[in-house]
Each structure stands twice: as structure tokens, then as C-alpha cells.
Amino acid sequence: MSKELSGNYWINKAAKIGSNRAFRNQQIFLEKPELTTDEFLVALYREIGMEYPKWFKMDRLSKLGMLAAELALGMPGGNLADPFGSAVVLANRHSSLDTDRKFVEQLKEIPSPAVFVYTLPNIVTGEISIRHGFKGEQAFFIDDLCPVEFMVNYVQTLFDEGNTHTCLFGWVDILGEQYNATLYSVSGVQEDSVHSIPFTSKNVYQYFDHEQGAVS
């Protein structure tokens, strides 16, 4: 059963990447329809100005999640105020299948250890946590469709338990040329009186489903 939330928590920032377009909150950040997926991810990395060489060694799921996290959270600003109260909760449909296929292909010869270490979907939560200094709860769920109600309840429960104060949560999925990352930065503080919106399933759905990444 879903909980109707009281609005005590706020979606302060959001990011959406899909079909060679990237949005930060409701603003288009980059659009390059002429590129392949891999080319677009690199173009987005350059546009964000990440300067994180390890990104190039990651699998595509982690690359996508890292870019969405960077758009939703901004660049890490040094010491995080509350690392143990900062959680990452993600979900997707295709697990690490994109990388698993690459690894199976390599088994014909000598497989790459650097590919093998990414044959789990939750590695992306670790990569984001390392980059942004999150040391709180980490979870990764797999479902056919984004389980919005379930995830909102899960994050709300984390907040209610009292140890989590901010959470990056959402959907990060990639298989071949199909990909979609939609991430939300949620906390108990309304950071922006105009752009922060109540953390409710309805608002999460709206941003997730809207082609332009807009929330009415």
C-alpha cells in the first residue's frame, strides 16, 4: 500500500537523460540527435566539465548514472555535510545486461577484468557514492517498469527511520542504443522556493514520464 506523503520532503533537483537529450531540472542541457549513444555520453561528459578520468574506464550503465548524478547534484563541493545521512536508491529494467553481454563476448578470448567488475548493476550506486562522498544507504532494484510507488515508499521509510537526510534516487537503464536515466535529489530542506516541489509519487511520475522532463 502506498503512503500519501505529507510534503515534508522536497525534490530539489532532477535530471533526465534519454534519446540523446539531457535535462537539468526542466531546462534542456544538451541535445545531439546526430550522435551515437556512446558519442552522446562523451559529449555530455565534456559539456558538464566533469574532469573525472575514471569515468572513461566505467561501463555504460555507470557512465550514464554518473552523468545524471552530476546533473542532479552538481559537482562535488568538497566535504559533504552529512555523508552518512546521504543515500543512493536506484532501479532499472536491464540490470547490467549491457555489460554482461560484452563480457560473454570476450570469453571467446581473454576477458577483461575491467569489464568483469561492472557485471553487477549496483556498481553504479558505488561509483556515484565515491564521487559525491555518500556513505549512507545504498539500494538497487530491478523491475520491468520504474517502480515509482515502491521507491517513493522506500525512500520515505529511510527518512522516517531518521538516519537518512538526503537521497539521490531514480532510474538508470541502458541496453544497446536504448537508455534512460532520471534522477531526483530529495531532502527535508526546500532549497528553492520556485523549483523545489513536494516529494510525492505524482511529482516523481510526472517528471519521469514527461518527454521534456517538465513538472507542472
Residues that bind another protein (CB under 8 A): 53, 56-57, 109-110, 112-114, 117
Per-residue cell: 147: 517502480
CA 47 to chain centre: 18
Smallest separation (angstroms) from another protein to the CB of 99: 14
Q: Which is nearer to another protein, 115 or 142 (CB)?
A: 115
Q: Which is nearer to another protein, 99 or 182 (CB)?
A: 99
Smallest separation (angstroms) from another protein to the CB of 111: 8
Per-residue cell: 182: 532520471
Q: Which is nearer to another protein, 57 or 101 (CB)?
A: 57
Q: What angle do CA 60, 66, 72 make, to 5 degrees?
A: 140
Rounded to a whole number of angstroms, the CA Rg of the chain reads 17
- Residue entry with cell 563480457: 103
Smallest separation (angstroms) from another protein to the CB of 213: 30
Backbone angles phi, psi at 91, to 5 degrees: -150, 160
3-class secondary-structure state, position 104: helix
Smallest separation (angstroms) from another protein to the CB of 54: 9
Q: Which is nearer to another protein, 112 or 163 (CB)?
A: 112
Smallest separation (angstroms) from another protein to the CB of 181: 21
CA 43 to chain centre: 18
Q: Are 69 and 168 in contact (CB under 8 A)?
A: yes
- Residue entry with cell 510507488: 149
Q: Which is nearer to another protein, 33 or 53 (CB)?
A: 53
